[in-house]
Chains A and B, each alone.
Chain A
Amino acid sequence: MTPTDDQLLATVYQRLRGIAERQLRGERDDHTLQPTALVHEAWLTLRDRLEALSHDPARFFAAAAESMRCILIDHARRHNAKKRGGGADRLPLDLEQISATASYDDLIALDEAIAALAEGNPRSAEVVRLRFYAGLTEEEAAQALGMSPRTIRREWAFARAFLFQRLDLHRSR
């Protein structure tokens, strides 16, 4: 992916849609937000910032990831506030399907775990956010952050270990 301005925007738009769809697909019966609505919500949040940041891939994707995260998590929280329980144990998650299969509890727990990761290892957490929330591939994340793919792989491995451990502990308590 060559990060020219319009392609960046287009890529993110498409990714947001994909994530939104997957996120909501499992919830069709009682959905409160259409994928398109979700994406439009994300766009409204993003619009101004993204245009300003399009020359700066790292910050651009960070902003995209952050607003997708906010929307997903807000949505999950709202949903949970309405409907308690049902947080079935459905780990493991995978990148494609996390949003489709994960319960809202999983999402919130994962987000909290990422926040905990960020405290000691902000760079690992950044990699996770870009890959998970903005849907970037390894190479794209490397480009966006200006790191080598090898570094990204290491950060990613560490993050997975950390988050897995954290979520596991979280659950067994």
Chain B
Amino acid sequence: MRRFVAGSVRLLRLACRPMPSRAERVKQLFEQALDLPEERHAAFLAEACPGEPDLQREVADLLSALAAATGFLAERRDPTATEQPGTTVDGRFELMERLGEGGFGVVFRARQLEPLQRDVALKILKLGLHGRSATARFEQERQALARMQHPNIAAVYDGGTTASGRPYFAMELVDGKPITEYCREHGLGIGERVDLVIAVCLAVQHAHLKGIVHRDLKPANILVARSSDQRPLPKVIDFGIAKALDPDVAHPDFTGTLHGQPIGTLEYMPPEQALGRLDELDSRADVYSLGVVLYELLAGRRPFERGDHATGIGADGMVSRIRDEAPRRPSTRVAQGDRPVPLPGADRSRWSRALHGDLDWIIDRALQKNPDDRYPTPNALATDLRNFRSGMPVSAGPPTAGYVLRRFLGRHRAAALGSTTLLLSILIGFVATSLALADARAASASKSRTVAALRTLLLTADPHALRGPDHSVRAMLDEFAPHIAERFASDPDVALELHVTVGGAYRNLSQLESARGHLDRAVALARTAGDALPLERALIEQTALRRELGDLRGAAESAEEALGMARARNPRSPRVGQLMLTRADLYRLADDPRQGEALVQPALALLPRNNVDPRVLAQRAFGLDLLGAFALRRGTTESAKAHFEAARAARTRCFAPDHPMLATSDMNLAAVHRTRGALGEARRAAERALANQSKAFGARHPQVAATHAFLGGLALQQNDLPRAREHLGRALEVRKAVLPAGHPDLASTFADLGRLELQARRPADAERHLRCAVELGEAAGGTSRAFAGAIQNLGIAVERQGRLDAAVTLYQRALRLHRALGNDNPGIPGSLTNLGMLTHRRGDPSAAVPLLREAVELRRSQAAAAGELLNAETALARAAKAAGDLRTAAVAQRARVALMTELGNPAGQIAATRAKAARLFLDAGDAAAAKPLAAAAHAYCTTEIPDQWPTGDSAAMLAACLLAEGKCAEAARHADAAWSLLRRSPAPVAYRRRCLEVLVSAHRGAAAATADEAQRTDHRHTADRAKADLAAMPGSGGTGR
């Protein structure tokens, strides 16, 4: 009946679609009416929805609203639609053919009729953006343009307004190609290309002298025609148009085309223009754009192009690259070879070598972010290009330290120093001293000032200080760093300071290998010099680096040495306290919590108390973190939580809320929450940290990876496999990119991914990851618990794919490794359990029993979690039963009862386990042990499932127990009840047979015991009948097990 109703509803739904809403009907009718002439609207509506006058009226109202809405949200007509080929403009220009169109308007080839007949390019500008005042301004501009007379500038002849009121220019018609195309088509070499640009520079210079800046220089606006003697003749077009269009807005269009060429992209704009700082635009903007054109002509591509960079494709991403990123040198770009060489058929490496040096430097200077660092005029650029052509030295030499510094300061004024005065004094100091240093005649005072200034600047590379990964700082470091040794060869102490600083900066940028070279060199220099303080500083940096590199032993050595030196100076100094904390942290990482924890309190005592100095607060927070970490390790989570919270509180006092150090605190708290089992809280804290770190460090940073790894592990624990896979995948990607090969974190990420795939039941994938983890672990010496765990899991992955022999080997290896790590290692019972189960699976339960028994005992002594213990007990119970060791199986089953109760398993499951235990004890001949189990199982069954056969079975077991105690009459009663339930039940024959056997014995016993003749006969009778039943059962003759 019910089914029928549901079915008919489905039929009804199929039969009629959902009714359209009223709004939909209104629109439908409206649209249908639109196809009809207006006079038929009323008739149509009357026909389409008879009897619905409201609906008719609503649609009719809309139709009349549309008629009245002329001009409302109307589309403007194409602004140039009235000017078509054939039209005469201003009575003087006859439009001939449309050449192109852009955001500014449209260009026609036109015939000028008077005063002289010639062909011109007529550019009609779009209206609508401009009011009347714009027209006046436009006229002014036009007059200025008309003053320019230069063979390489397309002349502006005339201008005015069209009949429809739009401004137009009449310009020299250039029959040419964009410069890039021209060079390619005519196979121009580097020298010829440079010559063309020189001519363009001079043209632009001419315009600048007339007070006109182009502001939109790009190949599409630099056409190359052929002169009468067939030489290439560049012509700059569209001078001043950008400004005439709108004096406030120099952004040209992005998508228009001229002669089919895309024009106007961000790619030719200097930073000040791309950023919209239009008041800063001057002639040097054109120098930059000329630099881009030159770059493109020589390198075959523009300095920055959309889509050639991972960070983004958008105009926004472009703007920030134009602002921040140093373009790669043209020679490098060519050598790299991902695009054809600009001249087809040219030899790549020769072309690249020809650019290397002078042309690289010239372009570098033209493309400076700060206009002050560029060539001051196009003329200066042309001069340097001529120098290059004639083999003279160019003015743009290789970047000097001072030059690099100046550029750097220009970019990072605010971030680096905050105050202009300070900036100036440092700048002056640096420039002065670096000049002096170049003479190798520097006074030591100014030397140290130089170094101090440089250090201040380089420390800006610390994302902690800068908030945000800074690629230009990287670029500057890369440029500067290789020259330290050579440039400061005669000044080892300066070189030492610079190596320490540069090494530290690289470390902060996660360029660990680069950092290592500098710091090793610094330490070596300091040892040679024999000066204590610099050596101590270098050692401290080296400690931090080695720690990050995962070289814990090396880090400990450096730290011990630095600590010894600091103690020798003053054993009670805060510096000693700091170093002790560093050392304690290394102990923690090296799995030596006892030594580590002992250092922390004395270290904290050395730090100044009640100090509000942020550095001291930060150190104190670090100490508290360590205390928390050690507490966590001891399992005292509440105290760990308190320490971490205190550390976070200290940090909020000295850092801004989005400072990455707070993320460190959040991660610590996340770890505590995870240990406490508060996984949701752990996730929230870690996600907060991740957001903070990604902002501060960028996506590719080891700390970001660590947080991803944590979140991945957490998701794994919560069995959210997709989330786990995402986080762990990210962690792996970043770690592969930034960590040195063989770093322990890489191994642990692979191990986690392996665990994930095991959990996802993809053992082949798991094996792949785990093999990587194991390989890395072996390379690192392979003794850690994590390494043993990876081998263990690899065993599981292999076993799940059916390769049992290989799995045994792996489990045995894992077991050996775990045993080597100490008896309290929870990995031992884990390996034992796996090995035992596999041994059983391979058909040798007797060999499995001792393994599993040891696993159980170890888990008990290690106070393992109930779930883990339960797994071991289950495996043991099964193996022991299969091996015929019934007593061991029985004890294991009884232990399972307690564990399942602790874990809150369903009562039915627990009762069934009790019954199993009871049966095993009975079979093992221990009725006394069986009785309470059987009684409890029976009690459950009689309440919950009184009429089902397990109730009978438990009654039969109870009867057997009573029989063993000699209580035959009571046993007989239970056996009767049991048989009445089992007789016709689907219970296995063995169960029924057991029941009958008890029944027979119980009644016989009862017959022997009773004095009452009638009762005795009765018992005998029952026993005989049961005996007969037993004989009639299948498989009779033998006794069931």
Question: Which residues of A approach B to under 8 Å, CB–CB?
Answer: 1, 5-7, 9-11, 13-14, 17-18, 21-22, 25, 35-36, 39-40, 43, 47, 50-51, 54, 91-98, 119-121, 124, 128, 132, 137-138, 154, 157-165, 168
B31 and A164: CB pair below 8 A? Answer: no
B276: chain A residues within 8 A (beta carbon): 36, 39-40
Nearest A residue to B31, CB-CB: A154
B34 and A157: CB pair below 8 A? Answer: yes
CA distance A25 to B66 in the complex (A): 29
A43: chain B residues within 8 A (beta carbon): 315-316
B65: chain A residues within 8 A (beta carbon): 161-162, 164-165, 168
A161 and B69: CB pair below 8 A? Answer: yes
Nearest B residue to A162, CB-CB: B62
Given the known interface contacts A92-B72, A97-B128, A160-B66, the answer about A9 and B313 at a Cβ–Cβ threshold of 8 Å is yes
Question: Which residues of B approach A to under 8 Å, CB–CB?
Answer: 21-24, 26-27, 30-31, 34, 61-63, 65-66, 68-76, 103, 128-129, 131, 248-249, 251, 253-255, 265-266, 276, 278, 306-307, 312-317
B251: chain A residues within 8 A (beta carbon): 14, 17
B254 and A13: CB pair below 8 A? Answer: yes
How many A-B contacts are there with CB distance less than 8 Å?
126
24 residue pairs from A and B, CB less than 8 Å apart: A6-B313, A9-B315, A9-B316, A10-B254, A10-B255, A21-B249, A25-B131, A35-B248, A36-B276, A54-B314, A92-B71, A92-B74, A95-B73, A95-B74, A120-B22, A121-B24, A128-B73, A137-B75, A154-B31, A154-B34, A162-B62, A162-B65, A163-B72, A165-B65
Distance in Å: Cβ of B744 to nearest Cβ of chain A: 34
A54 and B313: CB pair below 8 A? Answer: yes
CA distance A36 to B279 in the complex (A): 12
B307: chain A residues within 8 A (beta carbon): 5-6
B313: chain A residues within 8 A (beta carbon): 5-6, 9, 51, 54
CA distance A36 to B248 in the complex (A): 10
Nearest A residue to B246, CB-CB: A21
B34: chain A residues within 8 A (beta carbon): 154, 157
CA distance A50 to B75 in the complex (A): 27
A47: chain B residues within 8 A (beta carbon): 314, 316
CA distance A165 to B61 in the complex (A): 8
B66 and A161: CB pair below 8 A? Answer: yes
Given the known interface contacts A1-B255, A158-B27, the answer about A164 and B249 at a Cβ–Cβ threshold of 8 Å is no
Which one of B68, B69, B73, B316 has the greatest number of beta carbons of chain A within 10 Å?
B73
A157 and B76: CB pair below 8 A? Answer: no
B30: chain A residues within 8 A (beta carbon): 158, 161
Nearest A residue to B61, CB-CB: A165
Distance in Å: Cβ of A6 to nearest Cβ of chain B: 4
A6: chain B residues within 8 A (beta carbon): 306-307, 313-315
Given the known interface contacts A6-B307, A9-B313, A9-B315, the answer about A165 and B73 at a Cβ–Cβ threshold of 8 Å is no
Distance in Å: Cβ of A129 to nearest Cβ of chain B: 12
Distance in Å: Cβ of A155 to nearest Cβ of chain B: 8
A39: chain B residues within 8 A (beta carbon): 276
From B27, B73, B103, B306, give the contact of A98 (CB < 8 A).
B73
Nearest B residue to A153, CB-CB: B34
B255: chain A residues within 8 A (beta carbon): 1, 7, 10-11, 14
Distance in Å: Cβ of B285 to nearest Cβ of chain A: 16
Given the known interface contacts A119-B23, A158-B27, A164-B72, the answer about A14 and B103 at a Cβ–Cβ threshold of 8 Å is yes
4 cross-chain pairs, A with B, having the tightest CB-CB distances, nearest first: A120-B23, A161-B66, A10-B254, A164-B69
CA distance A7 to B307 in the complex (A): 11
B76: chain A residues within 8 A (beta carbon): 94-96
Nearest A residue to B21, CB-CB: A120
Which one of B23, B278, B313, B314 has the greatest number of beta carbons of chain A within 10 Å?
B314
B27: chain A residues within 8 A (beta carbon): 120-121, 124, 158
A157 and B24: CB pair below 8 A? Answer: no
**Interface contacts beyond A6-B307, A160-B73: sample of 12 additional A-B pairs, CB < 8 Å, sorted by A:** A5-B307, A5-B313, A36-B276, A47-B314, A54-B314, A92-B70, A94-B75, A137-B75, A161-B65, A164-B65, A164-B69, A164-B72
CA distance A64 to B512 in the complex (A): 41
Nearest A residue to B131, CB-CB: A25
CA distance A154 to B21 in the complex (A): 18
B253 and A93: CB pair below 8 A? Answer: no
From B23, B249, B306, give the contact of A35 (CB < 8 A).
B249
Nearest A residue to B317, CB-CB: A51
CA distance A159 to B65 in the complex (A): 11
Distance in Å: Cβ of A166 to nearest Cβ of chain B: 9
From A14, A36, A96, A98, give the contact of B254 (CB < 8 A).
A14
Which one of A39, A50, A96, A97 has the greatest number of beta carbons of chain B within 10 Å?
A96
Distance in Å: Cβ of B535 to nearest Cβ of chain A: 48
CA distance A158 to B307 in the complex (A): 40
Distance in Å: Cβ of A50 to nearest Cβ of chain B: 6
Nearest B residue to A50, CB-CB: B314
B73 and A161: CB pair below 8 A? Answer: no
CA distance A128 to B316 in the complex (A): 26
From A18, A40, A158, give the contact of B62 (CB < 8 A).
A158
B254 and A95: CB pair below 8 A? Answer: no
A91 and B72: CB pair below 8 A? Answer: yes
CA distance A164 to B63 in the complex (A): 11
A91: chain B residues within 8 A (beta carbon): 72
A137: chain B residues within 8 A (beta carbon): 75
CA distance A146 to B723 in the complex (A): 33
Given the known interface contacts A5-B307, A11-B254, A119-B23, the answer about A94 and B314 at a Cβ–Cβ threshold of 8 Å is no
